[in-house]
Structure 1
Amino acid sequence: MRTHLAATIGTVVPAATAPAGAPAAQAQVTPAKPFHVAVGNTWTDGTVTFYKRSVLVEGVHKSASAAGNLTCRTTQATTVNAAGPISSKRSGDIACGNTKSFSFSVPADQPGAATAVDVCLTDANTTELKCHAVSS
């Protein structure tokens, strides 16, 4: 019976581990790394996952007020390597008096790829309020 159980376990095919938003055919370089950026009672919270040619940014951001563009919140990320910034991208989901989930990929199509990503909490006008660097 043990031989039969071991043979059955050995035939299990591992499930795919790449997140749905991850670019196809890119190997994950590091495990997902957490970030948290807060300004007052607004924040962005989530993870970044480094791939060879991009960075996946996923999480939730919160706005405490829907009074206008200055109180609404979104998340922006900029990939960085030794030469400096590579590319920036902002979440398309703006939170205004609520919380919103986001998931977006930021290109890092440079030799050496991204060594870090700057994740920023911004207002709806993309003014950076506070940023946090996450290293690969």
Structure 2
Amino acid sequence: MKAHLAAALGSVVLTAGTLLGASAAGAQTAAYPTSPVNVPYGASYVHGTLTWYNRSVVFDGTLRAVGCRRAWFGTYGASGNQLSAKSTSTKCDVTYPINVAIPADVPGGAAYVIVCVDDANAKPLWCERYNRP
């Protein structure tokens, strides 16, 4: 009888441990939201992903420059004020990898980001707005 009771008690302890472990695993934090980016201008483009953090936005992707182009990124607050901006240097006839963090140092971070393909003189040729998901 004691053997059966010990086996049953051991089974209950193992089941409780498994359930508690499952709860802890389910309590993991969610991934940061992302937005796909595609800003074409003729054969040139900026393509990649924005990852939205609490005080910055990270762009990871590429600039395809046909002729001479630049990529430009601006973060904006909820009231439409520009928080920060970053750009690449001028790139000519190349596919250039970009990984850049654009500050958005306000509570809640950026409300939206504008991504542009610029000419060699930093004049915007085409821009797209990406709202925080």
What's the TM-score once normalised by structure 1's chain length? 0.69
Equivalent-residue separation in structure 1 for 2:94 and 2:88 (angstroms): 15
| Aligned-CA RMSD value | 2.4
Percent identity over paired residues: 34
Give the aligned partner of residue 54 of structure 2. Answer: 52
Specify which of 62, 65, 71 is matched with residue 63 of structure 1.
65
**Structure 1 runs, 4 residues or longer, greater than 3 Å off:** 27-30
Q: Report which of the two has the higher share of strand.
A: 2
**Larger CA Rg, structure 1 vs 2:** 2
Q: For structure 2, which runs of at least 5 residues remain unmatched after alignment?
A: 1-13
Number of residue-to-residue matches in the alignment: 107
Q: Does 1:124 align with 2:126?
A: no
Equivalent-residue separation in structure 2 for 1:28 and 1:46 (angstroms): 21
Equivalent-residue separation in structure 1 for 2:104 and 2:57 (angstroms): 7
Equivalent-residue separation in structure 2 for 1:30 and 1:89 (angstroms): 21
Equivalent-residue separation in structure 2 for 1:49 and 1:114 (angstroms): 11
Query: Given the superposition, is the C-alpha separation of residues 31 and 112 from structure 1 closer, same or farther in structure 2, using an over 3 Å criterion?
Result: closer
Q: In structure 2, what residue type is equivalent to 1:91?
A: T
Contact 2:54-2:107 at 8 Å conserved across structures = no
Specify which of 95, 106, 111 is matched with residue 110 of structure 1.
106
Q: Report which of the two has the higher share of helix.
A: 2
In the TM superposition, what is the alpha-carbon distance from 1:28 to its structure 2 partner? 8.1
SS in 1 for 2:92: coil
What's the TM-score once normalised by structure 2's chain length? 0.71
Q: Does 1:101 align with 2:103?
A: no
Specify which of 19, 38, 42 is matched with residue 40 of structure 2.
38
Equivalent-residue separation in structure 1 for 2:47 and 2:126 (angstroms): 13
Specify which of 85, 88, 91 is matched with residue 91 of structure 1.
88
Query: Given the superposition, is the C-alpha separation of residues 99 and 29 from structure 1 closer, same or farther in structure 2, using an over 3 Å criterion?
Result: same
In the TM superposition, what is the alpha-carbon distance from 1:29 to its structure 2 partner? 7.1
Specify which of 77, 80, 88 is matched with residue 81 of structure 1.
77
